[in-house]
Chain A
Amino acid sequence: MKAQIASFVMAAALVVSGAAQAQDFPSKPIEVSIWAAAGGGTDVTNRLLAEAMQKHLDTRINAVNRTGGGGGVAMTHVWNQDHDGHSWLGASEAMQVVKVMGYHDTGTPDWRWYMVGGWPGVISVPENSPYKSFQDMVDASKENPGSVRISHCPLGCVWHMKALASGQAADIEFTYVPYDGSAPAHIAAMSGEVDAVVSGIGEQAEFIRAGRLRPIAMTEMEPFDFPEIGQIEAVGADYPKVQEIPTRQWLGMAIPKDTPEEAVAIIDEAFEAAIQDPSIQEFAQERLMVISGLYGEEAEAELQKMENAMSWALFDLGIATTSPDQLGIAKP
């Protein structure tokens, strides 16, 4: 408790004295504006990342939740600050659709991305479900198109894309039922309202461990080793077309791309060190997160593909009303 009070006092002191430092970067405390609410994956990851990175940066990193507008509120705030590396965006895969959805004017090429990691997606069924494998679901759908109902987070979210990708890869028609988030989507599967749910493996882990949900297949190319349960096969093993919608869930942060080079170099270095930090590694292991650690050009290349794919998919679904063409987003 004493240490906590002390750290609060220290933080306050740093806020006051920050401006007095002579060094160019960091010359004051850094603020991460997290676009999602406190307690979610984006939030927890960014708070841990901030703590790990401030060990390597000579300043305090404060995390603030600026929710709303599908991420637009946080992005607008960060974009309106000086682009000097002191204002970061707590980001996730949702940032790849803000442009097409009209939540913010910037897109993937306008930011420099730092990806900590993310969850692979998994299709699960309630414990008493007749489906034993993804092939069972495919067979049932072939016999009776639309008879297999899959719940997922809101329209256009990453797990909706993953569910679509799995269905399209096997050339079958699922019925996709959107919920307000992954949590109610899990409940819908457990109560038998739908036949299966697609969400992140980390989000489902507690239900899988308790035996309430039974994992059927990963919506990815690679199988996944679930501790205590064993290997979960991937849809991609039989249906490699699943990678045609190149989306993946990721958590991390971003800074405006026109941040001065010196600051970028310092942040890059701190990020690389922080990824190796035991707190991040432990968190990833506990939450079944797959560490990525990509940043800069490599991250942008991957996320650009994702922005293209998701933007066009959203436009084709009629959720996004502006054509990605007009926004300069290439068709995949």
Chain B
Amino acid sequence: MLQSFFVQLVEIATPINMLVMVSATALGIIFGALPGLTATLAVALLSTLTFGFSTELAMVALIGAYVGAIYGPAHSSILLGIPGSAAGAATAIDGHILAKQGKSGQAIATATLASVIGTIFGIIAMVLLSPFLVELALNFTSIEFFLLALFGVLICGSLTAPDMPVKGWIAGIFGLMLAGIGIETIQGFQRFTFGNPNLAGGIDVVPVILGGFALPQVFRVLRDREMKQTIVTNIGSLMPDWLAIWRNKFGVMRSGAIGVGVGVIPGVGEDIAAWASYDAARKLDPKPESFGTGNIRGVVASETANNACIGGAIIPVLTLGVPGSPPAAMLLGALNLHGVRPGPMLSFEFPNFIPQMAAMLAWASLTVLVLGLLMVRISVQVLRIPTAILMPVVAFLAVLGSYSLGLNMFNIYMMFFFGVVVYLLEEIGYPIAPVVIGLLLGNMADVSLRRALLASGGSVEPFFTRPLAILFLALIIISLSFQSTFVRNLFSRTFRRRAKV
């Protein structure tokens, strides 16, 4: 596999492939950076556009766009505090504060580097570990999906303003309740739709993100006179913070591993990878309270993980025919369109296909590195735009982004509704991030739990007898007990005592 990967690395580097790769990656970055235009949309759009291309050229374009679009949100998250998609929302927490502190250039450059490192993790997983990871994915039954979602929801508690973790939980439960809206898929029952057909499909996460992250900013600028004048003119160094990444090398590896692992699990994507990695980085950091106040490690954790997720998500696409994330689902569609039938037979019928995809990922990550660092120079200029111009543009992008998703007016109303609701919530100290997590994971938790019980005939026994389920239960208990100051103090005291001895 490894040898074949290096052969492919050279073989696909034809001028036409590289040209398509660079343009597709640039398109992906722009799609990712613009709020509401997601990686899924970029890959979907290109898969129909490249219908007439050869399979290889089409895949070059799609992989480029995919990697670019997962990296792209870093720009808007850091500069404007508005994530281009859910995958970039975790980056916004620390990234935007860094920008306000005048370190936007370095933050974006570091995010670029982290993305590239993350993608490389994905490539390593694809080339070396894919047979093993497929077996892991097959061990994921509804029980594990439920426990994973539950674990994700528990992240909410720590993604809060440090003064009151309880507010994070309340916001998370609000998100979970939002996820309950719509036709549930086990019995087809309409919940909380009030007979409104627009609500039958559930609440989309994109209008919530755009409304929740963008509109409150606009409101606050309108409200505060001083904010109208403050323009961040200092953009700082444009080089990545190599030292921060080097000092944090174990953290980066952990983020990469989380990204690949989350990616491999069918149906769980880049967004969850970023949040899970951000949470792990925060919990294991010597100074967890510095997260949320402009810690570069927060940016590195989420950007490494969401890009590492790509390689992970492609593995089940190629070997099981099941996408690991929504953009990977589009990739699967494109493969079918070109007559490639992914599945367990792929590695027999086309032994070079997986190394070839990995080689494309490698070129895509190099393209992101070059284009990303070049683009920093241009995109930081956004901060020089006066608020009086920038804020209307932000509001416009939020409207456009909500509409572009399914071309549905209802999503624009939703965006405004959540803009107002989140503004009020934030004024009284509730964070938006847990709402997003709750909404992302609520449906998965709900459906997986009921499906698991349906399959086990109502017995909860498999929750305690399956090895992976026990692992997740243990993680949940550890994570929960770390929320309590008592346990944390106990832990750090024993730790310190040992260190002294």
Contact = CB atoms under 8 A, between A and B. Distances in A.
Contacts of A40: 333, 336
Interface in B148-196: 185-190
Nearest to B454: A177
B117 interface: no
Contact of B142 (A68, A69, A183, A193): A193
Contact of A190 (B53, B138, B408): B138
Contacts of A38: 44, 47-48, 330, 333-334, 337
Interface residues of A, number: 49
A44 B321 contact: no
A43 B345 contact: no
B333 A178 contact: no
B473 to A, nearest CB: 18
A32 B141 CA distance: 38
Contact of A178 (B138, B185, B266): B185
A44 B454 CA distance: 34
A191 interface: yes
A210 B451 CA distance: 27
A18 to B, nearest CB: 19
Interface string A179-196: 110011011101111100
Nearest to B348: A210
Contacts of B335: 39
B308 to A, nearest CB: 22
Contacts of A205: 341
B262 to A, nearest CB: 17
Nearest to B321: A183
A187 B138 contact: yes
Nearest to B462: A193
Nearest to A203: B321
A210 B343 contact: yes
Interface in B99-148: 137-142
B344 A210 contact: yes
B406 A184 contact: no
B435 interface: no
A44 B344 contact: no
Given A1-B16, A68-B406, A183-B321, A188 B337 contact: no
Interface stretch (A148-156, A250-258, A297-305): A148-156
A207 B330 CA distance: 21
Contacts of A179: 451
Contact of B322 (A64, A175, A183, A193): A183
B455 A177 contact: yes
Contact of B333 (A37, A156, A212): A37
Given A44-B336, A191-B138, A206-B344, A155 B48 contact: no
Contacts of B455: 149, 175, 177, 188, 193-194
Contacts of B464: none
Contacts of A47: 51, 337
Interface string B430-454: 0000000000000000000001101
Nearest to A147: B457
Interface in A87-105: 102
Contacts of B451: 177-179
B185 A155 contact: yes
Interface in A211-225: 212
Contact of B187 (A147, A155, A183, A191): A155
A39 B341 contact: no
B386 interface: no
B351 to A, nearest CB: 14
Interface residues of B, number: 49
A72 to B, nearest CB: 9
A65 B48 contact: yes
Contacts of B142: 188, 193
B16 A39 contact: no
B267 interface: yes
Contacts of B344: 206-207, 209-210, 212
Nearest to A41: B336
Interface string A49-84: 000000000000001110011000000000000000
B322 A187 contact: yes
A270 B116 CA distance: 51
A4 B454 contact: no
Contacts of B332: 39
Contacts of B187: 155, 318-319
B371 interface: no
Contacts of B429: none
A191 B141 contact: yes
Given A43-B337, A206-B344, A187 B320 contact: yes
Interface in A131-174: 146-147, 149, 154-156
B336 A39 contact: yes
Interface string B404-431: 0010100000000000000000000000
A68 B336 CA distance: 20
Interface in B35-64: 44, 47-48, 51-53, 57
Nearest to A282: B339
A43 B188 contact: no
A191 B52 contact: no
A207 B334 contact: no
A137 to B, nearest CB: 16
Contacts of A149: 454-455
A198 B147 CA distance: 27
Contacts of B186: 155, 178
22 contacts: A4-B53, A7-B52, A38-B337, A40-B336, A63-B48, A65-B44, A149-B455, A154-B185, A156-B188, A175-B455, A178-B185, A184-B266, A186-B322, A187-B320, A187-B322, A190-B138, A191-B138, A191-B140, A192-B141, A207-B344, A212-B344, A319-B188
Counting from the closest, the 4 A-B pairs by CB-CB distance are A39-B333, A206-B343, A210-B344, A319-B188
Interface of A: 1, 4, 7-8, 37-40, 43-44, 47, 63-65, 68-69, 102, 146-147, 149, 154-156, 175, 177-180, 183-184, 186-188, 190-194, 205-207, 209-210, 212, 286, 317-319, 321
Given A1-B16, A1-B57, A37-B330, 16 more contacts: A38-B337, A39-B335, A68-B406, A149-B455, A155-B185, A155-B186, A178-B451, A183-B320, A183-B321, A184-B266, A186-B321, A188-B142, A190-B138, A191-B138, A205-B341, A207-B343
